[in-house]
Chain A
Amino acid sequence: MIGGIDLTTLAAMLMVASTPVLLAAIGELIAERAGVLNLGVEGMMICGAVGGFAIAVMTGSPVLGFIGGAVSGAALALLFAVLTQVFLSNQVATGLALTLFGLGLSALLGKGFEGVRPPATAKLDLGPLSDIPVLGPVLFSHDWVVYLSLVLVVLVWGFLKYTRAGLILRAVGESHDAAHALGYRVIAVRFGALTFGGACAGLGGAYLSLVRVPQWTEGMTAGVGWIALAIVVFASWKPQRVLVGAYLFGGITALQLQLQAAGYAIPVHLLSMAPYIITILALVVLSAVHGRNAQAGPAALGKSFHASS
């Protein structure tokens, strides 16, 4: 206990608070490495939140709820993919529209679910591991989605670094024309990457409404999707740095909640702002320190591809 804050509880909360933004960011990282800038992360998250919540409540199964959340996010991402990859609409404008659309659609779909409690997601039973003092509650007493998000980071890292499919995905993001000339299916790769990104964002949204809060309120993502986008950029499109950024954001979120609970005389608004401001500042400093060595973004990021040009 330091200043009325239990560090063990804080550390345990950190992992839970970080999971939604980590999921959304790792999904967006894949989409951007394939050369597509999807600014609709916030919209996909909140649709995942309401979709996951609704299905979990109706079926009584949190697992089905998470699947529903992922499917909702992926569906929205597919809409984005069709618009930007097939009809060649502008990615920035379409992404912004997707966020607005997602916020509106989720508010509509969520009408009957306000004030309802979702079925609880069980903590994973890790046996004796959970009984280790300090480490047990901090690391080994969470639900399966927390561990899934960490496994995803490792998988994405390995996928990009070691697999041929990952190499093709990076190639498409670097130069779609060259990739096309070599016979790779640029649009198919981008559809896949966008769908994965949408599913991850939806999963992150469902985690907010099913575990983190847990209930449904309109606009409950509160900008987490935008933070996920910022984390991807400042992390120089590297999965391991996305993990650091997301846990920083989650850590400060958890800390400010604890500070509020401990009754410090800091205005609540300042505390609520803190995670956003500090995360952005830390990431800016981080990428400034890396300076020229920081990897530039994928060269074809945000550019439309058409086979004829």
Chain B
Amino acid sequence: MSHMLLRLDGLTKSYPGVLANDAVSLQIAPGEIHALLGENGAGKSTLVKMIYGLVKPDSGTMMLNAAAYTPAEPRAARSAGVAMVFQHFSLFEALSVAENVALGMESPPQLGQLARRIREISTQYGLPLDPARRVGDLSAGERQRVEIVRCLLQDPKLLIMDEPTSVLTPQEVQILFRTLNQLSHEGTAILYISHKLEEIRTLCDRATVLRGGKVVGHADPRAKTAKELAELMVGAELKVTDRAGRVLGEPLLRVTDLDLPAITQFGPSLKSVHLTLRKGEVLGIGGVAGNGQEELLAALSGERLSPPGTVMLRDQDLSRLGPNPRRKHGILAAPEERLGHAAAPAMSLTYNAILTGTVRKPLTRNGFVNFAAARRFAQDIIAQFDVRTPGPDVAARALSGGNLQKYVIGREVLQSPDVLVVNQPTWGVDAAAATAIRQALLDLAAEGAAVIVISQDLDELMEISDNFAALNEGRLSAPRSTADLTMEQIGLMLGGAQDMDPPAPQTEAALQ
């Protein structure tokens, strides 16, 4: 490829104490879909921020179309033909779709005319959008369309996508990929960042791997397996999760006929949920986001109380007990939202350990905090779960998403629960850390605990769970053994098909 669209040479950027990018060089050809791979904290975000003009490199050069390219701010990048779709949407909820699009453009036309253009472009690329709707009322997938359409209206030569699929349903992912392929055929280059290696293998032409701020290799993602790609990122051989050593014991947790009204106006209500969880079992619960996952976790953790007799641990009725009494009985939970739900963002890791740990760990004495013990507990979590942080006195919000996730899961696992309920345990976590978290959950089950994993990552659920159930509009399907479940059947379960075969008995054989 002689003519390169973007050529980065020796880009270096350091922050106090961290060398985020160390002499990174990269070339992207027109129309190429180029993957940028790396663990959390490998420097991917810093690199794309430099390309998009949000961060200035300390040294190194960038060339766009064989001309020097030094964007001082995103506007300059946009007018040079570089557009970006952010990981956390940069949208304004109270404004309409058209207004949001206008804000991302340099010289937008009149709103009426813009609305017509939005309709045109969005249907042309198979992403229909109503320009007059308020963004706050849109689904995650539709919000992303707004961002993409905003970029497309400016005829970008290079489109940067930072983890675009993490909030999308499988169907939405397919639509997105069709759009991206169409764009690539029309000559737009795409720089694609994702943790989902299978996606990269289906979508991308070339991959550049970053580790510790340095380029450690290039790869043809189609020629490699996901495992090989992950090992390139980690720089070490990747362990496969080990399911062995688990024996299913007597039933531990019984949920019977659980009905709960919706938390929010738009959320689903839980409708007669039944489930039985046995010692040593990992139950995977799949489903598209917003079908009752948060509601189910809240009902199990004790955040929301349910009618008497609906949640039973062994022979005890926990339905009317709040989170702390339930912790005492052995049910722990790690909710999906890390900042603000699972952890208090402004408080240190030590304090965050005390917040859930004090019931099962001796972290307080006569109502006073035992700081030495609490700090030790926090340090244990950090050490055993490989949380990358300077120490337990760092505020939770200072950790990257993946690191905080490891901390949150570790905090619950180390309290040796009888039943652990986790929602999206590996969301936004890199491959190596995700494997570690999954292994920790399996090990916990091998020690005789029971684990409920709520996740949207079906591969993850198939990898670690014994039985699989699907949540659809607040209804939980009957659990089926994962050993004899095909992806097609799972798809039907996720779609809410109730008239499938009677639930397969949970055979011991399936677990060996």
Q: List chain A positions with a Cβ less than 8 A from chain B.
A: 164, 167-168, 170-171, 174-175, 177-179, 181-184, 295-296, 298-299
Contact = CB atoms under 8 A, between A and B. Distances in A.
Contacts of A164: 102, 108
B402 interface: no
A184 B75 CA distance: 9
Contacts of B177: none
Given A164-B108, A167-B102, A178-B90, A183 B74 contact: yes
Contacts of B95: 167, 170-171, 174
Interface string B87-119: 001111111000100111000100000000000
A183 B94 contact: no
26 contacts: A167-B95, A167-B99, A168-B103, A170-B95, A171-B92, A171-B99, A174-B92, A174-B93, A174-B94, A174-B95, A175-B91, A175-B92, A175-B93, A178-B89, A178-B92, A179-B92, A179-B103, A181-B54, A181-B74, A181-B86, A181-B90, A182-B90, A182-B103, A182-B104, A183-B78, A295-B94
A10 B108 CA distance: 48
A174 B90 CA distance: 11
B172 interface: no
A174 B92 CA distance: 6
A164 B99 CA distance: 9
B93 A183 contact: no
Nearest to B92: A174
A295 B74 CA distance: 31
Contacts of B54: 181, 183
Shortest beta-carbon contacts, A-B, top 7: A183-B74, A178-B90, A174-B92, A181-B90, A183-B75, A183-B73, A174-B94
Given A181-B54, A182-B74, A183-B75, A171 B103 contact: yes
B89 to A, nearest CB: 8
Contacts of B78: 183
B357 interface: no
Nearest to B99: A167
A178 B103 CA distance: 10
A177 B102 CA distance: 17
B220 to A, nearest CB: 32
B91 A178 contact: yes
Contacts of A179: 92, 103
A179 B91 CA distance: 8
B53 interface: yes
Contacts of A295: 94
Nearest to B103: A171
Contacts of A174: 92-95
Interface in B51-100: 53-54, 73-75, 78, 86, 89-95, 99
A171 B102 CA distance: 11
Among B75, B90, B95, B103, chain A packs the most CB atoms within 10 A around the CB of: B103
A298 B91 CA distance: 14
Contacts of B53: 183
A296 B136 CA distance: 12
Given A164-B108, A181-B86, A299 B93 contact: yes
A298 B86 CA distance: 22
A296 B94 contact: yes
A299 B135 CA distance: 13
Nearest to B78: A183
Nearest to A172: B92
Contacts of B73: 183
A184 B54 CA distance: 11
A171 B94 CA distance: 9
Contacts of B93: 174-175, 299
Among B74, B75, B92, chain A packs the most CB atoms within 10 A around the CB of: B92
Contacts of B108: 164
Among B74, B89, B90, B108, chain A packs the most CB atoms within 10 A around the CB of: B90
Interface string B219-246: 0000000000000000000000000000
A296 B86 CA distance: 26
Contacts of B75: 183
Given A174-B92, A178-B91, 7 more contacts: A167-B102, A175-B90, A179-B103, A182-B74, A182-B90, A295-B94, A299-B93
